[in-house]
Amino acid sequence: MHEHDVIVVGAGGAGLRAAIAAQEAGADVAIVSKLHPVRSHTGAAEGGINAALRDADSWEDHAYDTMKGSDYLGDAPAVEALCQESPEEVIQLEHWGMPFSREEDGRVSQRPFGGLSFPRTTYAGAETGHQMLHTMYEQVVKRGITVYDEWHVMELAVTDEEDPADRTCHGVVAYDIQSGEISGFRADNGVILATGGMGQVFDHTTNAVANTGDGVAMAYRAGVPMEDMEFIQFHPTTLPSTGVLISEGVRGEGGILYNEDGERFMFEHGYANNDGELASRDVVSRAELTEVNEGRGIEDEYVHLDMRHLGEERILDRLENILHLAEDFEGADGLTEPMPVKPGQHYAMGGIETNEFGETAIGGLYAAGECACASVHGANRLGGNALPELIVFGKRAGRHAAGEEMGEAEVTTGKEGDWEPADYEFEVEVGETGGQGPAAADGGAVATDPDGVLEAEVERAKARVEELLSREGRNHAEIRSKVQETMTANVNVFREEGRLEETLGDLREAREAYKDVAVSDPSRTFNTDLIHTMETRNILDIAEALTMGALAREEFRGAHWRKEHQERKDENWLKHTLVSWNDGEPELWYKPTILEGENKTYEPKNRSY
């Protein structure tokens, strides 16, 4: 049993920033992560960090762009916090030594990015995330913050009251991948989930193999609602064979998209007459797939991204990493030929419902970064807005969890304030009730006192591992790949009712199959078979909630496109989708979007680029 004031789960950008902030606020903080911090997927972020740093720019303009990009599904208090605090956080990173790209005068460079009204994206070549991750890990080393690396968090220790709003999180239970030890981690002040993306729900993704949405699924099963899960960003420029990301920076610097006929289709086919390649990501992804579906794709699969005209010097200075990626993972030489690209799963706008301080509906439980939904990105995230989210909300959650007084939140959590039940009837049974046995993960342990709940959760985790290791059954890999296939086929850029229902059916089957899952590697030493098997359960729960949201939201907003519903319907749908696990009987409900900002109300406008 370990004990700290604050436990941070995950060691990417949000987790490291949260830990540093909690430590600065005087807390004894520890990070628990299934990967060593420098392995985290923040390191793969390429493009940059939006921050209104210059006199000609303002946080208000950044907030306006973000709200418009979100298709008016962001919550203004969170959006404004992001835009107000991003500049100081970027300067903080610079003061910690982050090697930003520079202007002639030695100041931090900024470049244009999609959906931005000002070139406000600060960057470090095309490896901004790598530099940011390492810079923050350096600070963690400097401060001597405890890191339990290669410890996989299995479940949260949350009390068992009927109403999730009455529950409290007292820590986590984790499995030491190196030794097989299972241990409780008591958090006296709070647990901060910073587990990142959930891209492994799909099979063509820019996300890492480790991005299985563990934090989202654990919080969901413990009673925290998942918010706006149907909003998945498909990045328009990923390499067709692997899903490796080609940064939006290429288009920001002037890269051009062509179809098979050599047409600059963003303009020539009228997808974005003003901004062309720099339209918002959802717009460009749909344009590319439309080109392919209408027979103008190359090899019926992808389009071309050409940056040759930028010249070798500029490419080497600002986009060198792209040359390496295209060469190593697609065999294309970006200096002499166009690069093949197609849309790939990139980012989850939704996630664990939080307010603007990272608090969830459960006391003592916070979330920050991609796993959380504050909501900053609404229906679509702008390029360059993910990294500032990590540092702004990581810091806020860290300070709050450490006990700093931060005022009253404007964003509500759980069923506080206005909410309405959904009246959508799913044709397929969803969720997972009863009879799961210890091999499956489910809701909270039955106890209400802090020590009792942690001990009970540790015992349950031990029983679960014991059963998975000792019984006979099927391998998880097959189940995982079926989930990924159906999600990629049917819950992709283009969505229609029948196929979404079909996916719920496929997920039902996968749930049934998972009941027989077993781990064939009997070892307690570095048993990745066991870890992956537990992750697959998380993938299942997330895929289902995501598909439920996609079915229920009968409109077209941001990244969520529905064949039967080709318009944004503000009169009915200026609201967030929430799914509560509800002890295995998932419940769908809604709450209104907050469009009232500090000084103005963001009136929904037509989102054209």
Interacting residues of 368 by C-beta distance below 8 A, sequence separation 6+: 14, 15, 17, 18, 192, 193, 194, 354, 358, 390, 393, 394, 396, 397, 398
What minimum distance in Å lies between the beta carbon of 98 and other proteins? 8
Residue 11-40 contact track with other proteins, rule CB under 8 A, x = bound: ------------------------xx-xxx
Residues 39-58 that bind other proteins (CB under 8 A): 39-41, 43-44, 53
What minimum distance in Å lies between the beta carbon of 169 and other proteins? 24
Residues 327-346 that bind other proteins (CB under 8 A): 328-331
H or E stretch at 181: none
User: Binding of other proteins at residue 182 (CB under 8 A)?
Assistant: yes
Q: Three-state SS for 318?
A: helix
Strands (E), 398-471: 420-421
Counting beta carbons within 10 angstroms of the beta carbon of residue 472, is it exposed (0 to 12), middle (13 to 18) or buried (19 or more)? exposed
> To which residue do tokens 């923050």 refer?
136
CA distance 127 to 423: 45
CA distance 221 to 443: 5
Q: Which among 17, 186, 251, 281 is annotated as catalytic?
A: 281
**CB contact at 8 A, 555 and 562:** yes
Residue type, 112: P
Q: Three-state SS for 18?
A: helix
Residue 290-329 contact track with other proteins, rule CB under 8 A, x = bound: ----------------------------------xx--xx
Residues 375-394 that bind other proteins (CB under 8 A): none
What minimum distance in Å lies between the beta carbon of 519 and other proteins? 7
Interacting residue with other proteins among 337, 420, 512, 521 (CB under 8 A)? 521
Residue 475-514 contact track with other proteins, rule CB under 8 A, x = bound: x-x---x---------------------------------
What minimum distance in Å lies between the beta carbon of 339 and other proteins? 14
Interior angle at CA 128, CA 126 and CA 131, nearest 5: 125
**CB contact at 8 A, 414 and 219:** no
**Alpha-helical runs (H) found in 25-127:** 59-69, 76-95
Number of amino acids touching other proteins (CB under 8 A): 77
Cβ closer to other proteins: 294 or 477? Answer: 477
Cβ closer to other proteins: 47 or 223? Answer: 47
Cβ closer to other proteins: 141 or 446? Answer: 141
Calculated CA dihedral for residues 163, 169, 173, 174, nearest 10 degrees:
120
Interacting residue with other proteins among 61, 94, 188, 497 (CB under 8 A)? 94
Interacting residue with other proteins among 26, 437, 505, 522 (CB under 8 A)? 522
What minimum distance in Å lies between the beta carbon of 124 and other proteins? 8
| Phi, psi of 195, deg, nearest 5 | -95, 0
Lay out the sheet containing 587-592: strands in order across.
372-373, 351-353, 226-227, 575-580, 587-592, 420-421
CA-wise closest residue to 175 among 533, 583, 448, 539:
533
Residues 99-158 that bind other proteins (CB under 8 A): 99-108, 124-125, 127, 130-131, 134-135, 138-139, 141-142
What minimum distance in Å lies between the beta carbon of 467 and other proteins? 9
Residues 200-219 that bind other proteins (CB under 8 A): 208-210
Q: Which stretch binds other proteins (CB under 8 A): 259-267, 379-387, 396-404, 525-533?
A: 525-533
Cβ closer to other proteins: 101 or 385? Answer: 101
How many other C-beta atoms are found inside a 10 Å radius of the C-beta of residue 468? 21
What minimum distance in Å lies between the beta carbon of 607 and other proteins? 31
H or E stretch at 2: strand 2-9
Cβ closer to other proteins: 8 or 245? Answer: 245
β-partners of residue 592 are 575
What minimum distance in Å lies between the beta carbon of 239 and other proteins? 9
CA distance 517 to 476: 6
Cβ closer to other proteins: 352 or 468? Answer: 468
Q: How far is CA 63 from the centre of its chain?
A: 20
Q: Which stretch binds other proteins (CB under 8 A): 280-288, 383-391, 426-434, 520-528?
A: 520-528
Q: Which stretch binds other proteins (CB under 8 A): 174-182, 305-313, 366-374, 563-571?
A: 174-182
CA distance 392 to 395: 5
Residues 226-285 that bind other proteins (CB under 8 A): 241-245
CA distance 154 to 189: 20
What minimum distance in Å lies between the beta carbon of 472 and other proteins? 7
Cβ closer to other proteins: 405 or 472? Answer: 472
Residues 526-545 that bind other proteins (CB under 8 A): 526-529
Cβ closer to other proteins: 127 or 248? Answer: 127
User: Binding of other proteins at residue 419 (CB under 8 A)?
Assistant: no
Within a 13 Å sphere around the CA of 483, how many CA atoms are in the beta-carbon half? 32
The CA-atom distances, in angstroms, between 104 and each of 54, 119, 512 are: 16, 17, 61
User: Binding of other proteins at residue 470 (CB under 8 A)?
Assistant: yes
Tokens of 345: 């799963």
Q: Which stretch binds other proteins (CB under 8 A): 92-100, 256-264, 283-291, 596-604?
A: 92-100
Q: Three-state SS for 328?
A: helix
Residue 281: active-site member:
yes
Cβ closer to other proteins: 305 or 361? Answer: 305
Cβ closer to other proteins: 182 or 250? Answer: 182
Name the residues annotated as catalytic. Answer: 281
